[in-house]
Structure 1
């Protein structure tokens, strides 16, 4: 298969476009494996880590050598062989080249090393459209939740994502309707960066209604998939995609989730990886928050109600991320917690949220404005992004 692909000029031209200055044999082999295997295939991952992608592919395609392989590899071959066609690899490369995608391989400078924590279940390749630096930023948080979000959930997700993105944290999510979309849009709204993991190829927008959102994400952040271009999202691929969302973030926050929400799958991956896990509480009567309450009760998730608590969950120094200083006035800290980078709030609203008098809030706002931390708008005050 590899020899046939190496001899195809159009295929090699596509390799040069998606993977400049690449070693073509290993690149083609890894793309082939991304076509042959489903995401997170631990047998394929272990085989590649032991032999290299090219040698593993030769083993699988060589019937004589393959007959000596262990049972798990023989079973894997029966899954992989029906997809072992050079034209499928060629189409994936051409599709990536046509949309300007970049192919990342493990060990690359831009490869997010946190994904290696998945061991044999780590992605074989990543297709990226957008700014590669967003993938390797120092501060990343995963925010996920229900597709059928309530107004409460959308509002909380937007406030958290907006506040975090405004101070340099990259917001990671899955590009879906509901909480995911609210988190992505809020990050973009404060000129922050966000990353969307897709369950299908990066050449197709899913859901289709988020086509424009993905374009906006790519302007400063990135859209990523381990699936080859042309691949369609499936239920299994959505669940497999969740492990990447959990692995990329320094912490995972579930904003709103039903009792059996797919977001709990992401939370489970975060927990198994040892990533801090947070959950936003909701009304006890709301079925949309039942999953979050379950995480708090049964899975040792931390209760999260503000961006400052998310930063604490991530292990970020509070004075570096929210404008507070060591030994800062407690009233000032409370006011900062009440301020949003996204939603303007009148002094009286801030007074109620912070538990301070209206006069004290107005005095502190003046000081924060001089320090460049708070900003006055026509309809209220917001916290200024860094």
Structure 2
């Protein structure tokens, strides 16, 4: 049949995919967390060649230290078998489930300013929902581990209302506000994502074992750390960037003067997304951090779900009679290349766009996702195609929001 792949060609395709997946998983264990230098190497030579370079220590000086301890540990096949036994999976930048446009901001940050400013190599995921679909509309709700009755009540009201409206609640599964946010979403039958600072097989804290099991049943548990990885202090700070990246905004409910929630707000602001804080009693030490963030302009003051959606939700203002500009005229760089590679009629697969533009597969997938979010392209079973965004006001609103 014309256009059908031969069995040999299909086998080669699967072999290439398997090799890349094993390379991603191997490197995930080698660095166990964000590594901007390794991400840069992968972007330059590809993941398979990067894995070979790490194994052979044919590396630039900046990568020799971070990879020295574990480059001899190659248990990628065992790690994949382990996560499958847990009913989970590993999601790589090659996969359709990869939340590419969510990760775009992390890839554009300066690692010289913060060592953790890097896109995660892979995400280990437990739960049946699609990660990219679950994060289409999401809000992070974080806060103090030693929460008060007031904080728990406010979190329950806010997270429950957001989940009831169809928004995914993202948090870190910790004691206090995090746990309350997850429970509130579950209580109304909503969607919630727990981002861990350890391996996907390590419930942390252990007292939240049952909570995490409930989240897996209806939502997602996500981590960048491979199976068996124990919690370390610096993992929490790195984990916070993923919480911020997976959400349209971050809400802090109760934060002490040295709260880790402020670190999540830092990532949120650096990614260009709104940070919000719920005020508490002026006499409460648990709300000092929130009050400081509000006073110093780091966070908007919010008291209910409606306030949060005003800041982080889609624009709801329509201007009748105003003709929107043609958005494709403002494209530049990789976006312009990828858009131009798509035909005026019909569809193209990402591999064909890669061949046409000379960009890497991960760059093409990320750019297609970014173009999709502003309504310029869409995909179906045949591939990616151009749309006509000027016909819908919803796309205009999305373009303005992500400009």
TM-score using structure 2 length: 0.69
User: How much does 1:21 deviate?
Assistant: 9.1
Determine the C-alpha separation between the residues in 1 that align with 2:235 and 2:75.
Answer: 18
Report Cα offsets for 1:149-198 as digits up to 9, x if no partner: 11111111111000010010000000111000000000000000000000
Query: CA 1:82/1:28 → structure 2, altered by over 3 Å: closer, same or farther?
Result: same
In the alignment, which residue of structure 2 is the partner of 1:117? 105
Q: Is the 8 A contact 2:256 2:289 kept in 1?
A: yes
Determine the C-alpha separation between the residues in 1 that align with 2:94 and 2:17.
Answer: 13
Q: Is the 8 A contact 1:135 1:195 kept in 2?
A: no
Task: Note the 1:138-153 alignment, pairs <5 A.
Answer: 138-153=136-151
User: How much does 1:50 deviate?
Assistant: 1.4
Determine the C-alpha separation between the residues in 2 that align with 1:90 and 1:287.
Answer: 49
Q: Is the 8 A contact 1:110 1:132 kept in 2?
A: no
Q: Does 1:23 align with 2:23?
A: no
User: How much does 1:85 deviate?
Assistant: 2.9
Correspondence for 1:129 among 126, 142, 153:
126
Secondary structure at the counterpart of residue 133 of structure 2: coil
In the alignment, which residue of structure 2 is the partner of 1:105? 92
Q: Does 1:187 align with 2:181?
A: no
Determine the C-alpha separation between the residues in 2 that align with 1:159 and 1:318.
Answer: 23
Secondary structure at the counterpart of residue 231 of structure 1: coil
Determine the C-alpha separation between the residues in 2 that align with 1:112 and 1:87.
Answer: 26
User: How many residue pairs are counted as aligned between the two chains?
Assistant: 293
Secondary structure at the counterpart of residue 23 of structure 1: helix
Secondary structure at the counterpart of residue 106 of structure 1: coil
In the alignment, which residue of structure 1 is the partner of 2:224? 226
Determine the C-alpha separation between the residues in 2 that align with 1:290 and 1:275.
Answer: 22
Secondary structure at the counterpart of residue 283 of structure 1: coil
In the alignment, which residue of structure 2 is the partner of 1:291? 289
Q: Is the 8 A contact 2:30 2:73 kept in 1?
A: no
Q: Does 1:174 align with 2:172?
A: yes
User: How much does 1:79 deviate?
Assistant: 2.3
Q: Is the 8 A contact 2:103 2:119 kept in 1?
A: yes
Query: CA 1:51/1:22 → structure 2, altered by over 3 Å: closer, same or farther?
Result: closer
In the alignment, which residue of structure 1 is the partner of 2:72? 85
Q: Is the 8 A contact 1:95 1:230 kept in 2?
A: no
Correspondence for 1:204 among 202, 214, 238:
202
Q: Does 1:57 align with 2:57?
A: no
Q: Does 1:40 align with 2:54?
A: no
Secondary structure at the counterpart of residue 310 of structure 1: helix
Q: Which runs of 5+ in 1 are unaligned?
A: 1-19, 320-386
User: How much does 1:91 deviate?
Assistant: 3.8
Secondary structure at the counterpart of residue 126 of structure 2: strand
User: How much does 1:107 deviate?
Assistant: 3.9
User: How much does 1:97 deviate?
Assistant: 2.0
Determine the C-alpha separation between the residues in 2 that align with 1:278 and 1:213.
Answer: 26
Correspondence for 1:262 among 260, 270, 284:
260
TM-score using structure 1 length: 0.72
User: How much does 1:87 deviate?
Assistant: 4.6
Secondary structure at the counterpart of residue 171 of structure 1: strand
Secondary structure at the counterpart of residue 83 of structure 1: coil
Which has the higher Rg, Structure 1 or Structure 2? 1
Determine the C-alpha separation between the residues in 2 that align with 1:296 and 1:157.
Answer: 18
Q: Which runs of 5+ in 2 are unaligned?
A: 1-13, 108-116, 318-403
User: How much does 1:250 deviate?
Assistant: 0.3
User: How much does 1:133 deviate?
Assistant: 2.7
Determine the C-alpha separation between the residues in 1 that align with 2:297 and 2:241.
Answer: 17
Q: Is the 8 A contact 1:252 1:270 kept in 2?
A: yes
Query: CA 1:112/1:29 → structure 2, altered by over 3 Å: closer, same or farther?
Result: same
Higher alpha-carbon deviation: 85-94 or 182-191: 85-94
